[in-house]
């Protein structure tokens, strides 16, 4: 027994690796991070993916365009409506279909409601990750109101599948406008409570300010978009730069910060909820009369060629790239999903912070794992 067994975990000079996930509560899904640690300082983070890889891109190659829409719900299930819209817009652009204003405006309102409910759930779980369980109940309570509006109009709560090529599946419910207005009135009163609970909380600020800094150059080089990119000053809002649906008709500000730390990624999302409410308020009373869908051919065949559509989901830029050979199903379809790209920056920004900060940084990127794996 002369040889002494070296206890690596107690020796602070050695790096050691631990697995965080795939069932870790703070990864919100099946994400496995292999973390190299020196003491409790993070030296390297390697994500291991594929636990929920379903091969959506491969599946899409054998189904028709109206069917693809239902698969896109299952990518980023919190921005389901916006994912649907991306495919619909790409198909409509390829076929040069003129979309009436009524459809455009309803789509925009639904997209913004989706964005608010996604940010509410993010706020709820982010607060919980950092130890504030009250946030979880506040966030989910208010999100329920939007889900009720979805249920009434779309027939389902989360995986809405409300868009179809050429318009919408059904017309809006007669109560829709009233309920949305009620919600805006309610949420305008509630949102300052979110700020009181978390934004000004000393414990929260200490844990998030200056943590996980992402510079503007890195944000562009790593392609970090959405509120996470805009917190670093990367002006990447597709709603502003390449307006689709009714975004060219409304006035809103692109939320930009320059600090790029966890706290400002948090603030960017809170401000975005305010901007989303502004957009909805401008549109909700101006829904023109008309049909809710344009008549399309029963079998949709896209002309041979390549089509690219960019939209802004709650987490960043979603790109749909369709290569068509003239058939009723795409030859190749690629989804440039925002979470997949944002995850690429995790290793860079969490280096040399503590393992507890990794939870805060990962939460502030707002990752949805099915969107990463697809």
Partner 1 sequence: MDKIQLGEFVKSLEPEVEVKEGRQYTEVTVPASKFYALAKRLRESEESWFDYLFCLTGVDYGQDLGVVYHLASTKHKHAIVLKTRPSDREHPQIDSVSDIWRTADFHEREAFDLLGIRFTNHPDLRRLFLDSSWGYPLRKNYVDEINIVTK
Q: Minimum CB separation from partner 1 for residue 82, in Å?
A: 17
Place of tokens 């549109």: 283
Window of 69-77, 150-158, 285-293, 304-312 that interacts with partner 1 by CB under 8 A: 304-312
Residues 332-361, interacting with partner 1 (CB under 8 A): 332, 334, 336, 340-341, 343-344, 348
Window of 131-139, 156-164, 245-253, 328-336 that interacts with partner 1 by CB under 8 A: 328-336
Mask for 39-78, x = binds partner 1 (CB under 8 A): ----------xx--x-x-xx---x----------------
Neighbours of 108 (CB within 10 A): 22
Among 305, 326, 327, 352, binds partner 1 (CB under 8 A): 305
Q: Does 241 bind partner 1 (CB under 8 A)?
A: yes
Kindly tell me the burial class for residue 352, based on how many C-beta atoms sit within 10 Å of its own C-beta (0-12, 13-18, 19 or more): exposed
Q: Give, to the nearest 10 degrees, the angle between helix 101-129 and helix 355-365.
A: 170
Strands 305-313 and 316-324: antiparallel
List phi, psi (to 5°) of 342.
Answer: -65, -35
Q: Minimum CB separation from partner 1 for residue 335, in Å?
A: 9
Residues that contact partner 1, how many (by CB under 8 A)? 34
- d(CA 55, CA 312) in angstroms, rounded, equals 23
List alpha helices for 209-305, DSSP H: 216-221, 226-230, 238-241, 262-283
- d(CA 86, CA 84) in angstroms, rounded, equals 5
Among 159, 323, 355, 356, binds partner 1 (CB under 8 A): 323
Q: Does 170 bind partner 1 (CB under 8 A)?
A: no
Chain residues binding partner 1 by CB under 8 A are: 49-50, 53, 55, 57-58, 62, 218, 220-223, 234-236, 241, 305-308, 310, 317, 319, 321, 323, 332, 334, 336, 340-341, 343-344, 348, 373
């Amino acid at each position: 027994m002369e040889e002494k067994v070296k206890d690596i975990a107690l020796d602070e000079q050695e790096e050691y690796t631990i697995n965080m996930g795939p069932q870790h509560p703070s990864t919100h899904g099946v994400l496995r991070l292999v973390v190299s640690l020196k003491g409790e300082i993070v030296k390297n983070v390697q994500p291991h993916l594929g636990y929920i890889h379903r091969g959506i891109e491969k599946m899409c190659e054998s189904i028709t365009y109206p069917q693809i829409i239902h698969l896109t719900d299952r990518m980023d299930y919190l921005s389901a409506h916006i994912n649907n819209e991306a495919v619909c817009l790409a198909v409509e652009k390829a076929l040069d279909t003129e979309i009436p204003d009524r459809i455009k405006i309803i789509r925009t309102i639904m997209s913004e409601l989706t964005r608010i409910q996604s940010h509410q759930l993010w706020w709820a779980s982010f607060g919980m990750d950092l130890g504030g369980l009250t946030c979880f109940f506040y966030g989910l309570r208010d999100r329920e109101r939007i889900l009720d509006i979805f249920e009434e109009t779309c027939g389902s709560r989360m995986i809405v599948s409300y868009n179809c090529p050429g318009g919408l599946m059904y017309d809006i419910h007669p109560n829709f406008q009233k309920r949305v207005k009620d919600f805006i009135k309610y949420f305008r009163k509630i949102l300052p409570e979110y700020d009181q609970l978390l934004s000004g909380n000393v414990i929260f600020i200490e844990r998030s300010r200056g943590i996980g800094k992402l510079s503007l150059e890195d944000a562009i080089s790593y392609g970090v978009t959405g509120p996470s990119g805009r917190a670093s000053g990367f002006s990447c809002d597709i709603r502003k730069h390449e307006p689709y649906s009714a975004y060219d008709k409304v006035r809103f500000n692109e939320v930009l910060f320059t600090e790029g730390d966890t706290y400002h990624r948090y603030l960017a999302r809170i401000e975005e909820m305010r901007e989303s409410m502004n957009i909805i308020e401008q549109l909700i009373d101006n829904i023109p009369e008309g049909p809710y869908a344009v008549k399309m051919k029963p079998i949709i065949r896209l002309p041979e060629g390549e089509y690219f559509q960019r939209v802004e989901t709650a987490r960043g830029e979603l790109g749909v790239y369709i290569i068509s050979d003239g058939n009723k199903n795409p030859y190749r379809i690629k989804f440039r999903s925002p979470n997949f790209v944002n995850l690429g920056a995790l290793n860079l920004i969490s280096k040399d912070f503590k393992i507890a900060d990794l939870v805060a940084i990962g939460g502030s990127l707002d990752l949805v794992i099915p969107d990463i794996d697809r």
